[in-house]
Structure 1
Amino acid sequence: MSKSSSESRRAPLASTGPSEVAEGGVFSYAGLHTESEDFLHLDVLRFIAAFGVVFIHFRFDFGWSARWFDGLQSMVDLFFIISGIDICHVYGRTRWGAVNYYNFLVARVARLVPLHLLTMLAYALVPITAAIIGVSLFSPERYDWSCFAPNLLLLQSFSICDHLTFNIVNWSISAELAMYVLLPLTLGVIRQSAFRAFFLSGAAVLLLFIFVDNWWERTADWGVLRAIPAFVFGVGLKLSEKSLAKVPVPELAFWPLVAMLVAGMMVVPYHAAMLMLTYGFAALVFICDARRQAGFFTRRLAPLGQLTYSIYMIHPLVITVFVKFLGLKVLNLTGDLLFVFLAACIFSVLVFSYISYIYFEGPSRRWVRSRLSLKRLN
């Protein structure tokens, strides 16, 4: 995300969190670093997953059928699984005193909140700017000011508003933050038992199937429920790492697995079966990391995993400003010109994400942690 476990992600409350730049990363280019050799396959997979979400939100502008790419929605659940693996890897053996718990939350807030606040500010300016220049808004219901405060406070996955508003991907960040808040309780119940983690994850899935209609599709309407079984499943994978490392899944299987997963998500509608398949693929990819056998391309692409959060948070804003306003309203693009413009916009997501990660997220993260963290009690 080679250092020893005590120096990298396994260090409780270490100076770098699960998605943060580590000094002297094993692989690096253009300011992007892998933190260690531990999860190189997952680093690549979450980068691919981020662009899977991008294609979900671009598909209608390309004129693709709603059926195509629909299964890519389960990429969000894949993020929750990877997060469970990552967080357990770093904080699984932390002694949760008040100071350590506070510092953990500061680290997670420093990772998530600055870019969240920046994108929320940008989205707040969209309807104001539209009113000033006298243009109509695409999807005006998205700019529901009664939902602004819940969005700002990252509470939107708790059904405070019944529809997605402003930065529509923030519901999953809200759910992710809830998993962090509950982490000491979750780990306390699991108590380093992979069996307990898988049992709790399975029990949560079963209860959701019984009591919550279409729970796998929830976003603003209690989307936090989607995070619970996926996150706990990720914790279970991490706790069973030594056993999974014995499963004979070769490194050469990684790219075919990823291709099968993406192809399946592109042609299979998003429903419970697709979601369960995603859980299984996540386990197979984790086995590749458990066996510590990353190949040439995996090692070179892994640093791009650092851009996942930026891509995820910034791409809806690119769609709003560049596609909806500039491309469709100002330039009135159609046909091949629109197709080329959309392709350029997708590439711009990567550029803007890189700029954000290097020049905003990294500095703001360090600034927040340096000012809010307390001296740790070991």
Structure 2
Amino acid sequence: MHTTNRSLEGLRGIAALIVVLYHMAILSPYAGVIQNGYLSVDLFFVLSGYVICSAYGSRLTNSHEVSRFLIRRFGRLWPLHVISFVLYYALLCLHSVLSKQPAVLPTMAEFASLLTMTTGFNLFDHNIGNVVTWSAGDELYVYALFAAVCMTLRKRSSVFFAVLSIIGFVIILRVDAESCLNHGPCNDLTYSFGWARCLTSYFLGALLARHKDALNFLTSPQWQIVGAVATLALVQFAAVVPAIAFAAPIVFALLIASLTRDRGPMATLLRTRPMQYLGEVSYALYLSHSIFGIYFVNLVFLPARNHFAWQAACCAGYIFASLALAHFLHRYIEVPVRERINAWGDSYRGHEVSALLHNSK
């Protein structure tokens, strides 16, 4: 029976918090980990590939299991995605009214893209919705690709996981390398070719899940320390040496591999209650924190207030507001809606099986 790896849950929470700090921007010049926090998105993708493949990879052998899987993934991602972009545009319109500027609303094409979670598919020359909307959509469609590979290829799926990961990486290098090596940052593709980042990292995580037994030696305390130090070094110095950002999926996979037994020094830290709470609300925190972004920027740069104490107070308020909203959305929207959709998906599958049994009589 599948059980939750609590250290990976805590790691997901840390990744979400780093994204929040990254989008605060004001602190970026003082800490490379914050300045290069955009790489946490790749950590999310690798984590997702590992966790989903561990839980579902061997079960997606027929259309009924695939349908159930996709319904559950849709129930996990779509409802909170819709709530977050509705809140984002509502507060953006409020800000426009208060500042006596024209209201900012998505066009019909943009709204359709938001509803179908296709904002990361190179359809527009600008970001749609809040700054992380693209990644949730890319992940949803990669789930579908993953399920199709598992169902049709089965024992050969590992080969195609590797092929898909390499294809994504080649696309990233082709699109981003020349420009980012000269100007930086590297591997920061979002609404344009961000899906290639998702392909690369997700299927690397899935490949790790398929072969974790062969990598058991990486779960020693020594390798956990190596994985943690390598991750910190990568994120800290990616702005100084932009090219190392391309190694992010591999470094993150090393860290995740070291935590797969859910014990050891780093696992102990990630299993603490604060880390577990962050992991629990991580998706809500990730999607909703940028809703307050425009207010934060306006506050932090108020005339005659541009000093450390004021900035620190604004940052603390921003983090508190983001966590409060994430807690509310997780408890009252994400969990209950997800459970209803999951129940419907399980019921739908049950009716299908019953129908098949009846027809076979």
Q: Where on the TM-score scale, by shorter chain, does this alignment land: which range?
A: 0.7 to 0.9
* Alignment of structure 1 residues 21-170 onto 2, 5 Å: 36-37=3-4, 39-59=5-25, 61-62=26-27, 64=29, 69-136=34-101, 144-145=106-107, 146-170=109-133
8 Å CA contact 1:42, 1:285 repeated in 2: no
| Deviation sequence 1:107-126 (CA, Å, 0-9, x none) | 11111111111111112213
8 Å CA contact 1:80, 1:227 repeated in 2: yes
Closer, same or farther: CA 188–327 of 1 in aligned 2, 3 Å: same
| Cα distance in 2 between the residues matched to 1:181 and 1:310 | 22
In the other structure, the counterpart of 2:341 is 368
Asked if 1:318 is matched to 2:292, the reply is: yes
Closer, same or farther: CA 281–122 of 1 in aligned 2, 3 Å: same
Closer, same or farther: CA 155–332 of 1 in aligned 2, 3 Å: farther
Superposition deviation, residue 303 in structure 1 = 4.8
| Deviation sequence 1:286-314 (CA, Å, 0-9, x none) | 33333442454332234531221111111
| Deviation sequence 1:242-297 (CA, Å, 0-9, x none) | 1111x154236535633542343133228442231x22332322333334424543
Closer, same or farther: CA 51–262 of 1 in aligned 2, 3 Å: farther
In the other structure, the counterpart of 1:357 is 330
Q: Report % sequence identity.
A: 22
SS in structure 2 of the partner of residue 375 of structure 1: helix
Say what the alpha-carbon RMSD is for the aligned residues. Answer: 3.1
| Cα distance in 2 between the residues matched to 1:181 and 1:198 | 13
Closer, same or farther: CA 311–64 of 1 in aligned 2, 3 Å: same
Superposition deviation, residue 83 in structure 1 = 0.8
Output the amino acid matched with 1:111.
R
| Cα distance in 1 between the residues matched to 2:67 and 2:209 | 24
In the other structure, the counterpart of 2:357 is none
Structure 1 moving runs of 4+ over 6 Å: 65-68
| Deviation sequence 1:165-199 (CA, Å, 0-9, x none) | 32110100111011112122232566345852563
In the other structure, the counterpart of 2:358 is none
| Cα distance in 2 between the residues matched to 1:343 and 1:205 | 37
Q: Which has the higher helix share?
A: 2
TM-score normalised per structure 2: 0.81
In the other structure, the counterpart of 2:255 is 285
SS in structure 2 of the partner of residue 273 of structure 1: helix
Report how many residues are paired: 336
Moved more, 119-128 or 185-194: 185-194
| Deviation sequence 1:211-262 (CA, Å, 0-9, x none) | 43449332111321111121111111000011111x1542365356335423
| Deviation sequence 1:18-43 (CA, Å, 0-9, x none) | xxxxxxxxxxxxxxxxxx35x33322
8 Å CA contact 1:200, 1:229 repeated in 2: no
In the other structure, the counterpart of 2:146 is 183
SS in structure 2 of the partner of residue 157 of structure 1: coil
| Cα distance in 1 between the residues matched to 2:93 and 2:49 | 39
Gaps of 5+ in 2: 178-185, 354-361
Moved more, 109-118 or 299-308: 299-308
Asked if 1:235 is matched to 2:206, the reply is: yes
